[in-house]
Amino acid sequence: MSFICRILICVSLFIGCHLYANSDTFEMGNEAFHKGDYKRAIDSYLKTMEEEDASVSVLINLSNAYFQQKDYANSRLYIEKAALIKPFHPAIKQNRKIIRNKINSDIIPVPLFFLTASLFWVSSLFSPLVWFILGIISSITVLYIVYARKSKTGLVSALFLVFLFATLGWHRSHALSNQHVVVINKETAFRNSPSEVAEELMLLKAGEKGTEIERFGDYSRIRLEDGKIGYVDIENVSFAHL
């Protein structure tokens, strides 16, 4: 087996380990879920997240368990955390839609521009580290092939691949570190300035989602799914950070 193939296999295993969980605690949570004991399932999934990094499977199952308890705010919180890892995962897309319908939100999301959505989709396929590794591997491969053929275009091709994969890795890293998703955990006022006496623009329902722009003392300035910007008391929101 060639050296390149061995590296690619290692990368594939690395990716798989970060997407799925297979611990005893996780399996206990699944068993409790299938028996309808959602509280015990939630406890097991939360314990699994303390024992290891949050994986897509744990976050989806935790969201489902909260959903069964009709706790739609926490259900949305954990499905949004899962979406930070795999935003275009079919189960995550479906669950987000179902949860949003249950919240009965009046906010109509503004869809992403096609090119922006495409970039998000491509960059979300792997973690920043994997994109970096792929860039190194592909560059070495191109240089080796070109060297064997005595071509002078290899350096340009290698630099292009490094730039391409570095860009995707940076975009993925930027999305993970700056996409501060906020989920409203109880009904709260959406105000035009960071003060409890400020004008109330609307009342947000538990489970509504936004993105934090910046923090002002006890208030978070957020952008809602329809693009509106305002302030909410941070005591009434949860942050979907990884």
Question: Pick from 52, 80, 103: which residue ends a domain?
Answer: 103
Could you give phi then psi for residue 160, rounded to 5 degrees?
-65, -45
Alpha-carbon distance of 168 to 179, in angstroms, equals: 16
Q: What is the CA radius of gyration of the chain?
A: 22
In a domain, 79, yes or no: yes
Rounded to whole angstroms, the Cα distance separating 192 from 35 reads 46
- The answer to whether position 155 is within a domain reads yes
Among 36, 68, 103, where does a domain finish? 103
Query: The domain spanning residue 221 has which CATH number?
Result: 2.30.30.40
Domain count, the chain: 3
Q: Is residue 6 part of a domain?
A: no
Query: What's at 164, amino acid-wise?
Result: L
Strand, coil or helix: 124: coil
Provide the residue type at 109 as one letter.
P
Residue 217 lies in a domain: yes
User: Residue-wise pLDDT tens for the chain (242 aa)?
Assistant: 444 444 433 433 344 444 445 578 889 999 999 999 999 999 999 999 887 777 889 999 999 999 999 999 999 999 988 888 888 888 898 999 899 889 888 888 777 666 766 776 677 777 778 888 887 887 777 777 767 666 666 667 777 777 888 888 877 777 666 556 778 888 899 999 999 899 999 999 989 988 888 888 899 999 998 899 999 998 988 887 65
Q: Which of 71, 103, 135 marks a domain boundary?
A: 103
- Same domain membership, residue 197 and residue 233: yes
* Residue indicated by tokens 């906020």: 182
- Which domain covers residue 91, as residue numbers? 19-103
Question: What DSSP character marks residue 52?
Answer: S
| Measured CA distances, 61 to 29, 49, 95, 97, 160 (Å) | 9, 12, 11, 16, 40
